[in-house]
Amino acid sequence: MMEIGLNHFLVVGALVFLAGLFCVLTRRNAIGILMGVELILNSANINYLAFARYSSVSYDGQIFAVFVIMLAAAEAAVGLAIVLGIYQMFHTIDVDATDTLRL
Amino acid sequence: MNEFSLFPAVFYFLAAMTVVSAVGVALSNNIFYSAIALMGTLLGAAGLYVMLAADFLAVVQIFVYVGGILVLTLFAINLTSRIGDVTVSNRSLGRFPAFVLLALVGVGMMRAIGTANWHRVEVVEPVPTINRIGEAFLTTHILPFELASLVLLAALVGAVVLSRKELREGRG
């Protein structure tokens, strides 16, 4: 059996990224779009850690990944608060319906 | 690594779990099932982090993503979707153009992975990383570390302000 190496992890990261991209492109539900963004951030993290393991002797990749997770948490908190605000105002979270800039 | 290592089997299991769940997130028509599939992706990715000798990151992933972000997402779904309205997610771009774009990006990325000549180092035995990461945060990376606390505080205050605005002003 082939030795598991850097490329295997990069392929996994690429596939997760593609799933996230598809999610962002095809959803109209704002929460669905946010979940696609989470998938994309996770794929970036897989790549960071794969390179930190296989092509670097330092821990900088892992430290970057910590910051990515931190920003994802902040993004989710603010994003979902905005989604709830949109729902209170428009009674839907369909991003096509919320095209009003002011009331 | 010896001849009969479990490493490839575990890797393929975790990779399949991650990718299949991610596809489930993207393709499921019910947003609730998407959120549950997202949990599979996050847990599979945490397993992959362990295989990449990032034990601290794996634990952080489970704490922050599965314990925090996913619960928040489920709350938001339950607060915004009407009961009985199961297929609230629809298509904006249409699936066919999205697939075309995906194929282009995917072929490009796979070619890049296959042909690029990455810098490689000798893979060492995994060691616990938490000491090194903690030291790095308080020495080399102290500025981004402090900025992170500021960003989190701003996000906290921002989320509270955003979700309470309607109550205070009584608009709408």
B73: domain CATH number is: 1.20.120.1200
Kindly report the pTM of this predicted structure: 0.88
Its ipTM equals 0.89
* Nearest CA among B28, B153, B41 for reference residue B89: B28
Judgement on whether residues B7 and B83 belong to the same structural domain of the protein: yes
The answer to the question of residue B148 being in a domain is yes
Judgement on whether residues B73 and B24 belong to the same structural domain of the protein: yes
- Closest-CA residue of B relative to A79 is B159
The answer to whether B22 contacts A20, with C-beta atoms less than 8 Å apart, is yes
| pLDDT above 60 (res B167) | no
Residue for token pair 């900088």:
A60
Render pLDDT for B53-66 as a digit per residue (tens, 0 to 9): 899 999 999 999 99
- Closest-CA residue of B relative to A91 is B80
Judgement on whether residues B77 and B136 belong to the same structural domain of the protein: no
The answer to the question of residue B51 being in a domain is yes
* The pLDDT of residue B172: 46
Instruction: Give A102's pLDDT tier (boundaries 50, 70, 90).
Output: low
Judgement on whether residues B156 and B80 belong to the same structural domain of the protein: no
For B44, the domain range is 1-89
Query: How far away is chain A from the Cα of B133, in angstroms, using its nearest Cα?
Result: 7
Judgement on whether residues B24 and B81 belong to the same structural domain of the protein: yes
Q: What is the count of structural domains for chain B?
A: 2
Question: Which residue, of B63, B89, B115, is where some domain finishes?
Answer: B89
Judgement on whether residues B79 and B131 belong to the same structural domain of the protein: no
Let me know: does A55 contact A21? Beta carbons within 8 Å.
Answer: no
The answer to the question of residue B165 being in a domain is yes
Residue from A21, A24, A26, A43 to probe the interface with B (highest B Cβ count within 10 Å): A26
Q: Which residues of A touch B46 (CB under 8 A)?
A: none
The answer to the question of residue B95 being in a domain is no
Judgement on whether residues B7 and B76 belong to the same structural domain of the protein: yes
Q: Chain-wide mean pLDDT for chain B?
A: 85
Render pLDDT for B96-117 as a digit per residue (tens, 0 to 9): 888 899 999 999 999 998 898 8
Query: How far away is chain A from the Cα of B131, in angstroms, using its nearest Cα?
Result: 11
> CA dihedral in degrees (A32, A33, A37, A38; nearest 10)?
-20
Q: Which residues of B touch A64 (CB under 8 A)?
A: none
Render pLDDT for A3-54 as a digit per residue (tens, 0 to 9): 788 899 999 999 999 999 999 988 888 888 999 999 999 999 999 999 999 9
Quote the CA–CA distance of A89 and B93 in Å, as a whole number. 25
CATH of domain A9-90: 1.10.287.3510
Q: ∠B69-A16-B123 over CA atoms, to 5°?
A: 100
